[in-house]
Amino acid sequence: MNKPTIQTRMFAALSATNEAILRTDVQEELFQRVCDAAVHGGGFKSAGALLIENDNWLKFVAVTGHDGKVPLSEIRISVDANSELGQGLAGTAFRTCRACISNDFQNDERFRPWRENGRGQDIGAAAAVPILKNGASIGVFLFFLAEVGSLTGEIVSLMERMVENVSFALRNFEQDRERKLAERANRRMSHMFAALSGTNTAILRARNIEEMFQSVCDSVTKGPLARRRRDIHAGAGFLDAEIRRCVGRIGAAYQDNAPLARSGGSIRRRIARPRIP
């Protein structure tokens, strides 16, 4: 039986990547599945996903096929063009937003800093493909093969398609997060308006100051607002204006009716038209 060609394996890896995009909505899980697809489906020796950190260093967030002899935390890759550790494939691909390849890893001068530390001794070819978001690099996928000269134009094109699909999925993840945030904000406002309505009702129906305060507390703690307490806490700043309106109305009603309350009269007829700040 003929051994599958690298092109056939790459198509399998591309198919597995597309399946991963459909099955997950978590960025880190997607990166790991792509690495798995490249190694187990594409026949690569190893693959890794790296994201940029604030100090211009790339950090591994997913990897498959790593031999474990060197901890990933000790593999230093920069995106700084002035750094010796930024002249490799990953740093160059990140800066240029274009794929960067080497078909002879052991004799490529760009990898000298890593070879001197005993890394990559069994690697023949390597490629770095940038992960793009809104046209800018946010990270890089690194792919390593055992065979020298194995990265043809067709293979590189398939790798680029694979990572482009990942970038597209990341945009969808972001849009989905924004949609969920908007839906949560709408729910918060709906619950806050319900509490505001309850406050108005309490002001209009209360017979004395104490009853008004108790009714307002009940409208907040026993209504829809209470069922979303965690969301309200998370979005406290967003709701400040409405909360101030509630408190303002209560304060106005209290000031208008304090003399009447002291005299023992009814609060209802004095606050039929409460002052609204």
pLDDT higher than 90, residue 169: no
pLDDT bin (cut points 50, 70, 90) of residue 83 is very high
pLDDT at 102: 96
- What is the rounded CA–CA span in Å between residue 169 and residue 114? 32
Tokens for 149, please give them: 């000269």
Percent of the chain past pLDDT 90, that is, above it, reads 30
Res. 215 pLDDT band, cuts 50 70 90 = confident
Q: What is the pLDDT of residue 277?
A: 46
- Max Cα distance, the chain (Å): 101
Report long-range pairs for 168-171 (Cβ below 8 Å, ≥24 apart).
Answer: 168/21, 169/21, 169/30, 170/27, 170/30, 170/131, 170/133, 171/133
- What is the DSSP secondary structure assignment for residue 40, as one 8-state letter? I
Whether 127 and 156 have beta carbons less than 8 Å apart is answered as yes
pLDDT at 253: 60
Q: Which of 30-39, 158-167, 203-212, 245-254 has the lowest mean pLDDT?
A: 245-254
Indicate the domain borders of the chain: 6-151, 178-263
* Least confident residue range of 18-22, 162-166, 199-203: 199-203
- Quote the CA–CA distance of 205 and 220 in Å, as a whole number: 16
Q: What is the mean pLDDT of the chain?
A: 78
The predicted model gives 86-106 an average pLDDT of 95
Class of domain 6-151: alpha beta
Residue with tokens 């190893």: 46
Query: What pTM, to 2 d.p., does this model score?
Result: 0.66
> Which tens digits make up the pLDDT trace of 125-141?
999 999 998 889 999 99
**Residue 19 banded pLDDT, cuts 50, 70, 90:** confident
pLDDT band at 232 (very low <50, low <70, confident <90, very high): very low
**3-state DSSP assignment of residue 141:** strand
Classify each residue of 40-62 as buried b or exposed e, where b means 16 or more C-beta atoms within 10 Å of its C-beta.
bbbbbbbbbbbbbeeeebbbbbb
pLDDT of residue 116: 78
Residue 161, judged by CB atoms within 10 A of its CB (0-12, 13-18, 19+), counts as: middle
